[in-house]
Amino acid sequence: MATPTKEIKKPAELPVPNSDFYGLVETLPAEDLAVVKQVRTFMETKVAPIITKYWIEDAFPFELLPGLKELNIGGVGLEGYGCKGGGGLLAGLVAMEMGRVDASISTFFGVHSGLAMSSIYYGGSEEQKQKWLPPMARMEKIGCFGLTEPLVGSGASGGLTTTAKREGDTWTINGQKKWIGNSPWCDISIIWARDLADNQVKGFIVENKTTPGFKVEKIQNKIALKVVQNGLITMENCRILEENRLQVDTSFRDTAKVLRGTRYFVGWEATGCAMGAYENALKYAQERLQFGKPIGSFQLIQDLLSRMLANITAAQCLLVRLAQLEAEGKMTDAHAALSKAFCTSKCRESVAWAREICGGNGIAADYSVGRFFADSEALYTYEGTFQMQNMIVGKAVTGLSAFL
């Protein structure tokens, strides 16, 4: 006689974590969608499997550079000069897709393609753009952006101590730049210095490897964005030809114009970072059992997941509207500042909840969430701190400046 078998209940199929809850990507034109998908595939198949090892080792994965070049996205959002084009929305989505897997890779790319290339794009003469942008767009020459100094961060607009002195067709630059991403190994530095003649900030294209007096020391022992190599640059009587001074730029207002665009990207990047943390934490919550049940079935865990998803969705919707303003030429410094402050602070809140959901494993690098958690700290601070962004917004809405 056959023994009665107890019916084994098959576990219900659980939804695959998806941080694009409102289907943002579906609204994209087919051409842009193809680029976004290509970037996602690259990040998931080439970057994700190796990035934690590099993060732990404080090293940059040069093995990824050929694949990054093949993506053909250098200068995304910029038109002509070999740049990818495609508009601000596509550029933002590329930053978000990169950030979703690793904020260091999106930072490396943002410094090169955003900060360095757009400094030349907006501030360079036609000749300078023709010369420098095509090899940078092909990522044959990699750039960095040197504004911050050891003693001057938030106060860079009025307080740069790096000086530039013109004699004939040659400028002599002296000073130091701190925290400069990519600088320990890249080819081209955009250096911002105060002209001793008129006290205005000017931009210079400096060739790292061949300029006498230009020295870079790698900053060691960071706890965030460990894959990005940041440097302390020291310039001692660096002689730069007038033809390498950004010809259109005349003051810090021109530097701020570059920062407006790149703060917009940091909003996207931070949203990507929150998305990556959320998806990893959700997967963990679906699989981790406590009290005999997946922790994702507990109300308090679901509450955290909902709050994270709300932060992410709010940031995505804000950024899409900002992309529209950008496309219409209406994005102001205050618009970009609001999104940088909001998206990075919501990212910081979300990655902390993701870490919490992973319990003790949330602080282990092997679980990825710890990496997003640490990296969000740098996004919150670089390209202008939360306080600086809010002071830009505060000035716009009150008509009163809190800057000294």
Interacting residue with ligand FAD among 121, 122, 145, 265 (CB under 6 A): 145
Interacting residue with ligand FAD among 64, 270, 378, 392 (CB under 6 A): 378
Determine if 108 is a binding residue for ligand FAD (CB under 6 A).
no
CB count within 10 Å of CB 237 equals 10
Nearest CA-CA partner of 228 in 170, 145, 169, 166: 145
Sequence-distant (≥ 6) Cβ neighbours of residue 201 within 8 angstroms: 157, 160, 192, 193, 194, 195, 251, 252, 254, 255
Binding-site size, ligand FAD (CB under 6 A): 21
Determine if 153 is a binding residue for ligand FAD (CB under 6 A).
yes
Determine if 154 is a binding residue for ligand FAD (CB under 6 A).
yes
Determine if 385 is a binding residue for ligand FAD (CB under 6 A).
yes
222 close to 191: Cβ distance less than 8 angstroms: no
Task: Name the minimum Å distance from CB 305 to ligand FAD.
Answer: 28
- Window contacting ligand FAD (CB under 6 A); options: 144-152, 279-287, 292-300, 307-315: 144-152
Task: Name the minimum Å distance from CB 394 to ligand FAD.
Answer: 10
Q: Which two tokens stand for residue 365?
A: 């690098």
C-alpha–C-alpha distance, residues 169 and 88, integer Å? 37
Sequence-distant (≥ 6) Cβ neighbours of residue 38 within 8 angstroms: 71
Q: Per-residue contact track with ligand FAD, 168 to 197, x per CB under 6 A?
A: -----------xxx----------------
Sequence-distant (≥ 6) Cβ neighbours of residue 25 within 8 angstroms: 33, 36, 93
Determine if 376 is a binding residue for ligand FAD (CB under 6 A).
no
Task: Name the minimum Å distance from CB 9 to ligand FAD.
Answer: 49
Name the residue nearer to ligand FAD (CB basis): 253 or 293.
253
Determine if 147 is a binding residue for ligand FAD (CB under 6 A).
yes
Nearest CA-CA partner of 309 in 94, 52, 19: 19
C-alpha–C-alpha distance, residues 123 and 253, integer Å? 11
Which residues are paired to 204 by β-bridges?
191, 245
Interacting residue with ligand FAD among 331, 343, 388, 392 (CB under 6 A): 388
Binding site for ligand FAD (CB under 6 A): 111, 144-148, 153-154, 179-181, 225, 230, 378, 381-385, 387-388
